[in-house]
Chains A and B, each alone.
Chain A
Amino acid sequence: MIAFEDLLHRFHGLDRREVARWVENRWVLPERRNDTWIFHEVDVARVELIREIRHEYAIGDEALPLVLGLLDQVYDLRRQLRRICDALAAQPPEVQAAIRRAFPSKTGPEPPRD
């Protein structure tokens, strides 16, 4: 984790007011400590991601919340799915086998035949 000043210094050309606005918009959620912000690794990575989305993909402030919202949903799904996978992996073999059998086929159900 690094301080706000260190963050600005790590990514040259990062504008102080710009990052402050990202925090205000709750796009980045640094830890507040003694009137300053502490950026954890996930926050630093997110700052870098936002910077790239804005500058390199030319996505502006209006579209950015949409992009971030979708990304957050994707990652939330992936985290939840990982939890499920972990829970499945902890099951006894017969339970795992039953779940595998109960999985719907990827190609969908067989079409009915006359």
Chain B
Amino acid sequence: MAATQTPYQVLGVKPDASADEIRKAYRKLAKQFHPDLNPGKPEAETQFKSISAAYDLLSDPEKRARYDRGEIDESGAERPPRGYYRGHAEGAQGWKYQPEGEMDLGDLEDLFAAFGSAGRRRRGAGEGFRARGADQHFTLTIDFATAATGGKQRLSLAPDEWLDVTIPPGIEDGQVLRLRGKGGAGFCGGQPGDALIEVHIAPHPLFRRDGNNILLELPISLAEAVLGARVSVPTVTGPVTMTIPKGSDTGSQLRLRGKGIQRKTNPGDEIVTLRVFVGQSTDPELAEFLEKWAPRHPHDPRQGMPPA
């Protein structure tokens, strides 16, 4: 790396030269190296340029003062702000100036105790060591209804420690919630980490989910299917009464508006699919009736099925 000349060196004056001395030195050199007076010497032009630049800087008292303070370099460009030793010493570069005889890392207790008392004497002395706490990972299993409606769920960390987790309605299985600042404590005054909670939704014996809708298969009796009925149907917000129209069939779908995933805007629906259950031990009276009834009402539900 070639060293650059200071503007004082370029003009051949001392750093404490007066404005007058600088002007005289410049005039002398400018005459000597003026390109028009040195047609055969291309290097004279380079020389002349640096002389002009040096004089430009030193003839302006403000620029000269800034240069002397190290705020600008010889080309007049701003210097980066000063970096304090502290900033370097605490980084990897600083190990070079490690005192002879490496520190005994085995005696951590002494070290922590020493640091603790130093921190007490001088507020903020430990600021440089701040480390953000680690993120902590948890898993939380919630029931289907909580996932659909949202709500608070308590996550136990220890017998006397817990987190209250707010479950947004419509959370998906495996979604991770981040609770800012609820993770590991920061070190030496650093920010705490976050708690990352992976939420699992326990399967429900009745409900299944389809996007924002909730699917339910509802068993009904033959009589309810044929004659219609008002029945109680479970939903994620509690049972509601639903009318089964006359002549319903297995596979008929009924929609309970707004009883699906309880999103604030556009909540989903519960879609109820009916399933007619005749029952394993058929009522003898019904069997007897059908034996007479069926031949008079021939009906093949498999009509129109393509042959296998």
Contact = CB atoms under 8 A, between A and B. Distances in A.
Given A75-B90, A93-B184, A6 B4 contact: yes
A77 B94 CA distance: 11
A48 interface: yes
A53 to B, nearest CB: 10
Given A45-B88, A69-B99, 4 more contacts: A3-B3, A9-B5, A77-B114, A93-B184
A113 interface: no
Counting chain A residues whose Cβ lies within 8 A of the other chain, the interface size class is: 35 or more
A74 B258 CA distance: 66
A13 interface: yes
B15 A78 contact: no
Given A9-B4, A106-B116, A106-B120, A85 B68 contact: no
Contact of B93 (A8, A41, A48): A41
B129 interface: yes
Interface stretch (B33-41, B131-139, B242-250): B131-139
Contacts of B129: 78, 81-82, 85
A33 to B, nearest CB: 9
Interface string A1-35: 11111101111110000000000000001000000
Interface string B104-141: 01001101111111011000000011011110100000
A54 to B, nearest CB: 14
Contact of A100 (B89, B94, B185): B185
Interface string A77-89: 1111110111011
Nearest to A41: B88
B70 interface: yes
B95 interface: yes
A104 to B, nearest CB: 6
A96 B134 contact: yes
Given A41-B88, A45-B87, A85-B131, A5 B97 contact: no
B153 interface: no
Interface string A45-68: 110110000000000000000000
Contact of A6 (B1, B70, B85, B114): B1
B97 A75 contact: yes
Contacts of A86: 131
A45 B85 contact: yes
B108 A93 contact: no
Contact of A93 (B95, B98, B183): B183
Contacts of B120: 106
A84 B111 contact: yes
B105 A11 contact: no
Contacts of B91: 42
B97 A85 contact: no
B308 interface: no
Given A3-B2, A72-B97, A93-B184, A42 B88 contact: yes
